[in-house]
Amino acid sequence: MIQLEALWSNPKFLAAGLVLLATVAQTLYGKRKRAAERRAPMVSHLIPWVGSALEIGGDPDAFFVRAQRKYGDVFAMKAFGRVVTYVVSPSLISEIYRNAQKYDFDHIRIVMSIDCFDIPASLMKSDITSKILYPSQHKYLSSTGVVPIVEAYTTAVWELLETEGSRLEGASTTLLDFVLPVLYQASAYAFFGRSCPVAESYKPFHDFDSTFHLLLAGVPRVLLRKNVHGLATLHRLFGKYFDGPHEDASEFVLEAERVMRSHGYGSETIGAYFISMLFALMANAPNAGYWLIVLNLQREGGLQPLTEEIDQAVASWKQQNTRQKIEDHLHEFASTAVLPLLTSTIQETLRYAASVMSIRRVTEPVEFGGYRFDTDDEIVCMTRSVHLDEEIHENASEYDPRRYLTERKPTKNGKIVTNHSMVWGGGVSMCEGRHFATRELKAFMIFLLMRYTLEIDPKSAERPTFMSERMGAGVMHPRGDLRVILHARK
């Protein structure tokens, strides 16, 4: 002990010890600092729990542009107490989509189904869902499997356009009140049959949908009374629907119902399961149909270029089928008509109006994009940032219905970007309803413009804008509306 004290009292030894201690401390600190630096940078915020939520809600597109410029292609953000990492680079997004083992979607899907739609965990976490219901859904919504549903839809939307068009002909009406009910009803009939409670479910569905983006962002349900009440009403209506006669529902619905009943689940649970399908069906394509009309009506020439293309296709069909009425072959015509401008317009509308986020859960510690991620970290593929990237899409902030008429090979940093338009997401979470949705929009526009002309009511100055705070929830809803006048074509 005396010897140690003597050593410590020696100035030279003390100095050497302090240097050694400082070196060790600096090494340990450096390691900790480097480890921290390898985590994705956090977007700065002022309010602890709320985080960046308010700033995003103001103008999310501008927010993500600023964040990318400051932090790069990968950055973390806190909102409502939840920390999520965002990826805005097309190459990094592609890497995530390709590796479903490390970046899992199934867990996210299960949690959303339970937390957002009140589907029992016993069903969502079972092999019934993963090994029977999901494969069945994939089969019936595939490009070929969805054909019977599309056939039922084309019949329904033709009839509804005739009924609603006759009712509104010559009058000024808000476009939302015309487009959304037609597409809601036609799609519901196609999937659930004519006994589906369309009229009763329309308002509660939109009540639920109106704040769904807040529910998705983590806002406590106690603050979302409209959402909660709407969902409860939908549960009651669809539980009653599955208790009653519905033999004309699609085989997709009937087969899933048989599977769930055979495993002891009743109408209430079956109804809850299909409310999530109803949301996927109704929250996006009808709004895309709305923007298809709005965005083109505000361009020079309005809907006339599309009308002319459709008229040419109708004339060609009639020349080849002189003894048949096109009204008797609606699905055949809508599915085979070659309409490049309409196809490009649909694609551009989705690029311009959709805000899609693909969420993944990290399944094991991984290095990605130069940063370290731990198990259970959440990564969001922000595809809208790619869609609005001026280097990838020329004049990306402008709506150009002719953008996809020619094959495109956009580049970024000198490399070709193959995934430049990810309107359906990607990887294992790519929207399975995309085959129905594209044909739904195509048939709707064909039949609408075959029968009617639309013009903006000159007495109305109101113009809708994107409800941009619905970031990540699909096709953005409109704030405001457009008054139009519908005329039957001679």
Q: Summarize the annotated binding site for heme as residue ranges.
A: 431
Question: Whole-angstrom Cα distance, residue 87 to residue 384?
Answer: 11
Residues belonging to the chain: 490
DSSP secondary structure code for residue 42 in this structure: B
> β-pairing, 465-466 with 366-368?
unpaired
d(CA 271, CA 315): 44
Q: Which amino acid is at 245?
A: P
Does residue 366 come out as left (phi exceeding 0), alpha (psi in the -120 to 50 range) or beta? beta
* Residue positions forming the annotated binding site for substrate: 284
Please choose, from the candidates 390, 393, 385, 389, the residue with its C-alpha nearest in 3D space to the C-alpha of residue 410. 393
Identify residue 270 by its one-letter amino acid code.
I
Burial label, 282 (beta-carbon count in 10 A; 0-12, 13-18, 19+): buried
SS3 467: coil
Cβ atoms of 350 and 288 closer than 8 Å: yes
In whole angstroms, what separates CA 313 from the centre of its chain? 31
Gap between the terminal Cα atoms of the chain: 110
3-state helix vs strand vs coil in the chain, percent to 5: 60, 10, 30
The binding site consists of 284, 431
Q: Which of 424, 447, 277, 446 is nearest to 345 (CA)?
A: 446
Residue 379 CA: distances (Å) to CA of 38, 51, 93, 108: 15, 17, 10, 11
Q: Give all strands (DSSP E) within 102-257, no chain letters.
A: 103-104, 172-174
CA distance 486 to 172: 7
Q: In sequence order, what are the beta bridge partners of 84?
A: 77
Spatial contact of 195 and 241, defined as CB atoms under 8 Å apart? yes
- Cα(484)–Cα(237) distance, integer angstroms: 33
The string of DSSP letters for 227-286 reads: HHHHHHHHHHHHHHHHHS--TTS-HHHHHHHHHHHHTT--HHHHHHHHHHHHHHHHSSHH
